[in-house]
Structure 1
Amino acid sequence: MIDTIEKEDPVISEEEAAQYDRQIRLWGLDAQKRLRGSRVLLAGLGGLGAEVAKNLILAGVKGLTLLDHEKVSEESCRAQFLVPVTAQGQNRAQASLERAQNLNPMVEVHADSDKVEDKPDDFFLQFDAVCLTGCSRDLMVRVDQLCSQRDIKVFCGDVYGYYGYMFCNLGREHNYVEEKPKVVKPKGNSNDGPEAKKAKIDPNETTMLKKTSSYCSLKEALEVDWTSEKAKAGMKRTPVDYFLLHVLLKFRTDKGRDPDPQAFAEDSQLLKQIRDDVLEALAVRADLLSDEFVSFCFSEMSPVCAVVGGVLGQEVVKALSQRDPPHRNFFFFDARKGNGVVDYFGPN
């Protein structure tokens, strides 16, 4: 039996049925009702956060809380379409509220100007899903471990220049349904020949299959022992972006910020040093990341935010609606290559 996410069975009004008609036709009424009963926390209203907010609001979740203590800067106005150009100096969550709410008045959108690090544990437990952008590694690990104990879905993501990623932890047992073409059993007797005995797929009919997937924690995914035989065997299919993520998260931990275009020369040298330290600590090849990577990880680029935000928002929708196979566990995007890579890091 598919678990329900909502605490109550929400009723879809006629107005909502009309608003979400296309989505209901796409993934069904039950999936839309699960979305309609879900509350989501979105931390970080940069360019990526704005894209995720848009996608969740248009999908029709019950409530979305925008959490951000940062002020609107000139860069925010370039990368983030929810804040007006006249909002510089204002709180980023508050400045995003009006345009976000106007996307879909049926969704309860709230703005919170507190610092996410200052929020107590109980704050995160009131949501069905928590999405963290622009956060430190320590905070993401803390929230992931906390929410996993209460079966709350956790998503993390960031954009660094041409690079972007998302991570999801849907728990040790995430149930969902997948639509598959219906297989028609052959008719006739044994004298009809070998072709008649083969099962055939009917493209006009589908069947819903109930499935379950298991997820590891963010801590497990980031603390892979690369000296183990199992990890070494999987090294070839591990994208270099995974190791780049370690470097960028370490930069954020050490400097309390992301690489700054205004300090390009200084930050480029620091990134190279952190790269050397990280690869040595992980006991992997020192040449995994060439020096050129530093030229492509400064600032949030709007097109990259749109791609990663589209994937991240859709994964939240799939997890809450329990419809269609979700990603396991990372999605990496490199705009220089124009493609994304999905990788799974299972429990050790």
Structure 2
Amino acid sequence: MSEQSLSAVEAELYDRQIRLWGIESQEKLRAANVLLINCRGLGCEIAKNILLSGINSLTVLDDSLVTEEEQIKNFFLTKESIGKKLAEAILPKAQSLNPLVKITADCENPVEKNANFFEAFTIIITTGIKTDLVLKLDKICRINKVKLISGDVFGMFGFSVADFLNHEYYEDRVQMLPKKRTQDGSVKTTIQVKGQIDYPELNKVLIFPNTKQSIDAIKKSNRRNGLFFLMLTLLEFRNENGRNPQISTKTDDIEKLKIIKKSIVGLYKISTSIFEDSLFEQSFGEVVPVCAILGGVIAQEVIKAVSHKEITINNIFLLDPVTFNGKEECVGA
């Protein structure tokens, strides 16, 4: 969808946002078609924020059924949703957040979608999928100039990794005016500065043992935040086991995580002290407050990437499970 002028109804509804980031940015959002893969604890937080921002359309791709546990932590669901297709069950409450956004439910398995399906979107958001699918999607996105951001929550730990291609942005900066040129008494003005971030493809960012990926980026790994390697360890656990670590098998899963950690630090040629094994204790479940924090961060990045307003994170965000401070890492560039 090409950019269009906002209607009077849209201008009134998005008045506060227009004052914040301008009419041009809101029109870019109004033209954006977003795909969200999985709408569970983290996904529902992301969906809420981007729906309120005023995008054109949101497609929710999720083939799961609503469980009792999922219903408790997903505010789009009710007790009547249990046993139903999740993508369809969230529609009523999601649509009520913003009736002006077109919302579509797709209950197919993301793995079974062909490449053509993903071409129509402005940006794709993924949660809770294996890395091989993320990397496959990234290749498709790069061919079709579609932006991609992937995020997950493991207990108290959360992260996102983005590929916004060759992303141009505009940033407002305050500039002091020479006193001799001022006529109205003002001493400063706001100017718009253009910038660009060239994102690396994700197969240069997410590198695991036993893959055929290039390891050139590994040479710079000794300066990485330890949480980056915690992220890789947890993702590799999902890749190997087809699930996240579970409380019901906590003891066994922690041992598996320790083994995976050894293989990853061996690949990157770093010390096992890069992060403490005690962090594994905090990596179970999908903690709702952490979903809310990370969901806000990812949605903010989506809004910035689509509107081209303000600088985006390049390219990894890490939420510290101990301090809850956000850390940024640039990997693979």
| TM value normalised by structure 1 | 0.89
Counterpart-to-counterpart distance in 2, 1:321 and 1:25: 14
Cα deviations by residue, 1:87-124 (Å, 9 ceiling, x for unpaired): 12211111111111110000001111111111100111
1:218 maps to a residue whose letter is: L
2:174 maps to a residue whose letter is P
SS of the aligned residue for 1:246 comes to helix
Q: Which amino acid aligns with 2:24?
A: D
Q: Secondary structure at the match of 2:237?
A: helix
CA displacement 1:182-241 (0-9 Å, x = unmatched)? 2313539xxxxxxxxxxxx945x211112222111111112354663xx15xx33x2111
Alignment of 1:186-335 (within 5 A): 187=180, 202-203=187-188, 205-223=189-207, 225=216, 228=219, 231=220, 235-236=222-223, 238-335=224-321
- What per-residue deviation string (whole Å, max 9, x for no partner) do you get for residues 15-34 of structure 1? 11000000001000010000
Cα distance in structure 2, aligned partners of 1:289 and 1:94: 40
RMSD: 1.6
CA deviation digits over 1:158-192, x for unaligned, max 9?
Answer: 00000000111111x2111100112313539xxxx
Take 1:262 and 1:89, find their aligned partners in 2: how far apart are those partners?
Answer: 22
- CA–CA distance in structure 2, aligned partners of residues 227 and 296 of structure 1: 27
Unaligned runs of 5+ in 1: 1-6, 189-200
Take 1:125 and 1:269, find their aligned partners in 2: how far apart are those partners?
41
Query: Once the 2 structures are TM-superposed, how far is the Cα of residue 291 of structure 1 from its aligned partner?
Result: 2.2
- In the other structure, the counterpart of 1:145 is 139
CA distance in 2 between counterparts of 1:245 and 1:326 reads 20
Distance 1:263 1:12, change over 3 A: same
Is the partner of 1:292 in helix, strand or coil? Answer: helix
1:8 to 1:185, Cα distance in 2 relative to 1, 3 A: same
Inter-CA distance 202–309: structure 2 relative to 1 (3 Å threshold):
farther
1:114 aligned partner: 108
Residue 64 of structure 1: SS of its match in structure 2? strand
Among the aligned pairs, what percent are the same residue? Answer: 34
Aligned partners of 1:12, 1:62: CA distance in 2, in Å? 11
Q: Give distance in 2, aligned partners of 1:225 and 1:107.
A: 43
After alignment, is 305-314 or 244-253 more displaced? Answer: 244-253
Runs of 5+ consecutive residues of structure 2 not aligned to the other structure: 208-214
Equivalent position to 2:178, from 180, 185, 200: 185
| Aligned-partner Cα distance in 2 for 1:65–1:324 | 25
Residue 315 of structure 1 aligns with an amino acid whose one-letter code is: E
2:63 partner letter = H
Distance 1:294 1:75 in 2: 22
TM-score by length of 2: 0.93
Distance 1:182 1:166 in 2: 33
1:68 and 2:62 are equivalent in the alignment: yes
Tell whether the 8 Å contact from 1:315 to 1:326 is kept in structure 2 after alignment: yes
> Cα distance, 1:316 vs. partner?
0.3
**What's the CA shift for 1:265?**
1.6
Rg: which structure is higher?
1
Distance 1:152 1:216 in 2: 14
